[in-house]
Amino acid sequence: MHPNGMKIFILTVVVVFIAAGCTTSNPYIYKHNEFNRASPDFNRIPKDRKNIKICYSKLSTKLSDLQKMAQKECGLYGKIARFQEHDFLHCPLMTPTGATFNCLRP
């Protein structure tokens, strides 16, 4: 391959990876040990929720959408959602920010 052709190929691959890294995903509820088959809660709906964590990207998600998601999930257990904190410890790169909501009895 011609040296200039190789440079163009490498540059193209780098640009594709950078563009893919800049895309965002929809917010979702983080489930600890979701893929751990040894977990006693594997593939089971929780009987109760004290809190939930929603992973999201600040670039594509409105805070009102997070509140609605949290309220819907906590509402399944007859509770209301109250924001607790943001963190960057549990969520993957495409949705790097985690918002934790407490599910409280009304």
Give the whole-number percent of the chain exceeding pLDDT 70.
87
Return the higher-pLDDT residue of 63 and 3. Answer: 63
pTM: 0.73
Please name every residue paired with 103 in a beta bridge, in sequence order, or none if there are none.
Answer: 81
Report the pLDDT value the prediction gives residue 17, as an integer from 0 to 100: 62
Token pair for 63: 């805070």
- Taking the C-alpha atoms of residue 27 and residue 101, their distance in angstroms, rounded to an integer, is 14
Q: Of 103, 24, 100, 25, which Cα lies nearest the Cα of 66? A: 100
Return the higher-pLDDT residue of 26 and 101. Answer: 101
Among the residue ranges 21-25, 29-33, 79-83, 90-94, the one predicted with the least confidence is: 21-25
Q: Of 99, 8, 2, which Cα lies nearest the Cα of 55? A: 99
Residue 45 has pLDDT above 90, yes or no: no
